Amino acid sequence: MTAQQLFASSLFPGSHPAEPKLKWMVVLSCLAHLVAFAVIMGLPPSSSRNLYYSPTYSVDLVGLPPGGAPLAGGGKASGKPAAAEVKKQHVKLWKGPSEITSQVKVQAGRKHPVLEIPAKEKKIAPQQPEPEPGESAAQGSAEERPGAAGTQQSQQGTAADTGEQNTGEAATGGGVPGPGPGGGGGGAPNLRFAGYYRSLYEKIYQSWILPDYVTEKEGSREVIVVIKIQRDGRILEANFEKASGNRQLDASVMNALKKADPLPPLPDDFRESFLEIGIRFIPQQKAP
Amino acid sequence: MLVALPGRVLAKVYIDIFSPFATRLPIALSPFKNTGSQPDTGNTAAKMGAVIQQDLELSGFFRVLDAGAVTQDPASAGITINTISWDSWTMIGAEALVTGGISVSGSELVAELRLFDAVQRQSIVGKRYFGRTEDARLIAHKFSNEIFKSLAGEQSIFETRIAFEKGSRGDKEICIADFDGSRVETVTAMNSICLNPAWSPDGKKIAFTSYADGNPDLYIKDLASEKTERVSHKKGINITPAWSPDGGKIALTLSLNNGNSEIYILDVATRELERLTDDPANDVSPAWSPAGDAIAFVSSRTGSPQIFVAELPGKKVRRITFDGSYNTSPDWSPKGNKIAYAGQQGGAFNIFVINTDGTLFQQLTHNQGKNEDPSWSPDGRFIAFSSNRSGKKEIYIMRADGTGQKKITGGAGEKTSPAWSPSIK
According to the model, what pLDDT value does residue A171 have?
34
pLDDT band with cut points at 50, 70 and 90 for residue A106:
low
pLDDT (mean) for A153-173: 34
Query: Comparing B93 with B5, which gets the higher pLDDT?
Result: B93
| pLDDT 10s digits, B335-374 | 999 999 999 988 899 999 999 988 888 999 998 999 999 9
| pLDDT 10s digits, B305-327 | 999 999 998 789 999 999 888 99
Q: CA nearest B208: which of B180, B229, B226, B185?
A: B229
> Where does residue A259 fall: left (phi above 0), alpha (psi -120 to 50 degrees), or beta otherwise?
alpha
Query: Choosing among A40, A54, A80, A94, which should be mutated to test the B contact, i.e. which has the most B CBs within 10 A?
Result: A94
According to the model, what pLDDT value does residue A212 have?
84
Indicate yes or no: CB of A41 within 8 angstroms of CB of B8.
no
**Interacting residues of A218 by C-beta distance below 8 A, sequence separation 6+:** A146, A150, A153, A244, A246, A249, A283
| pLDDT 10s digits, B44-68 | 999 999 999 999 999 989 999 988 7
Q: Which residues are B375's β-sheet partners?
A: B384
For the cut 50, the answer to whether the pLDDT of residue B413 exceeds it is yes
Query: Comparing A164 with A4, which gets the higher pLDDT?
Result: A4
**ipTM of model over 0.85:** no
| pLDDT 10s digits, B228-266 | 999 999 999 999 999 999 999 999 999 998 889 999 999
Query: Choosing among B3, B8, B16, B114, which should be mutated to test the A contact, i.e. which has the most A CBs within 10 A?
Result: B16
pLDDT band with cut points at 50, 70 and 90 for residue A51:
low
pLDDT band with cut points at 50, 70 and 90 for residue A200:
very high
Strand order in the sheet with B205-210: B194-199, B205-210, B217-222, B228-232
Indicate yes or no: CB of B17 within 8 angstroms of CB of A247.
no
Pairing between β-strand A61-63 and β-strand A103-104 as defined by DSSP bridges: unpaired
- Residue B227, class by beta-carbon neighbours within 10 Å (0-12 exposed, 13-18 middle, 19+ buried)? exposed
Pairing between β-strand B371-376 and β-strand B362-363 as defined by DSSP bridges: unpaired
3-class DSSP string for A22-34: HHHHHHHHHHHHH
Distance (Å, rounded) from C-alpha A160 to C-alpha B63?
A: 31
Q: Which of B22, B114, B131 sits opposite A100 (nearest CB)?
A: B114
Distance (Å, rounded) from C-alpha A22 to C-alpha A10?
A: 12
State whether residue A105 sits within 8 Å of chain B by CB: yes
According to the model, what pLDDT value does residue B12 have?
75
* Chain A residue closest in CA terms to B137: A106
3 state DSSP class of B83: coil
- Contact (Cβ atoms closer than 8 angstroms) between residue B405 and residue B393: no
According to the model, what pLDDT value does residue B18 have?
85
According to the model, what pLDDT value does residue A27 have?
75
- Contact (Cβ atoms closer than 8 angstroms) between residue A70 and residue A64: no
| Nearest CA-CA distance, residue A205 and chain B, Å | 6
* Chain B residue closest in CA terms to A193: B13
Query: Choosing among B19, B120, B128, B155, which should be mutated to test the A contact, i.e. which has the most A CBs within 10 A?
Result: B19
Distance (Å, rounded) from C-alpha A142 to C-alpha A123?
A: 27
pLDDT (mean) for B28-37: 92
Distance (Å, rounded) from C-alpha B401 to C-alpha B377?
A: 13
Average pLDDT, chain B: 91
- Contact (Cβ atoms closer than 8 angstroms) between residue A226 and residue A276: yes
Indicate yes or no: CB of B119 within 8 angstroms of CB of A92.
no
pLDDT band with cut points at 50, 70 and 90 for residue A40:
low
Strand order in the sheet with B171-178: B185-186, B171-178, B161-168, B414-420
Distance (Å, rounded) from C-alpha A86 to C-alpha B298?
A: 59
**Residue A139: its chain B contacts at CB < 8 A?**
none
Distance (Å, rounded) from C-alpha B284 to C-alpha B25?
A: 43
**Interacting residues of B210 by C-beta distance below 8 A, sequence separation 6+:** B188, B190, B192, B193, B194, B195, B216, B217, B219
Distance (Å, rounded) from C-alpha A82 to C-alpha B421?
A: 49
Indicate yes or no: CB of A106 within 8 angstroms of CB of B153.
no
According to the model, what pLDDT value does residue A220 have?
65
Average pLDDT, chain A: 58
Which helix (H) or strand (E) element contains residue B339?
A: strand B338-345
State whether residue B12 sits within 8 Å of chain A by CB: yes
pLDDT (mean) for A114-133: 31
- Residue B55, class by beta-carbon neighbours within 10 Å (0-12 exposed, 13-18 middle, 19+ buried)? buried
Q: Which of residues 159-198 of A touch B (CB under 8 A)?
A: 167, 171-172, 182, 185-187, 189-190, 193, 197
Q: Against a cut of 0.95, is the pTM above it?
A: no
**Residue B19: its chain A contacts at CB < 8 A?**
208, 210, 215, 281-284
**Interacting residues of A202 by C-beta distance below 8 A, sequence separation 6+:** none
State whether residue A281 sits within 8 Å of chain B by CB: yes
- Contact (Cβ atoms closer than 8 angstroms) between residue B421 and residue B161: yes
| pLDDT 10s digits, B98-140 | 999 999 998 899 999 999 999 989 999 999 999 999 999 999 9
According to the model, what pLDDT value does residue A62 have?
31
**Whole-angstrom Cα Rg for chain A:** 25
For the cut 50, the answer to whether the pLDDT of residue A87 exceeds it is no
Which helix (H) or strand (E) element contains residue B420?
A: strand B414-420
A175 φ, ψ to 5°? 65, 25
Distance (Å, rounded) from C-alpha B19 to C-alpha A129?
A: 36
Domain annotation for chain B: domains and CATH numbers: 25-152 (3.40.50.10070), 161-420 (2.120.10.30)
Indicate yes or no: CB of B9 within 8 angstroms of CB of A36.
no
B296 φ, ψ to 5°? -90, 150
Query: Comparing B141 with A19, which gets the higher pLDDT?
Result: B141
Distance (Å, rounded) from C-alpha A108 to C-alpha A101?
A: 13
Residue B363, Cα to own-chain centre: how many angstroms?
Answer: 19
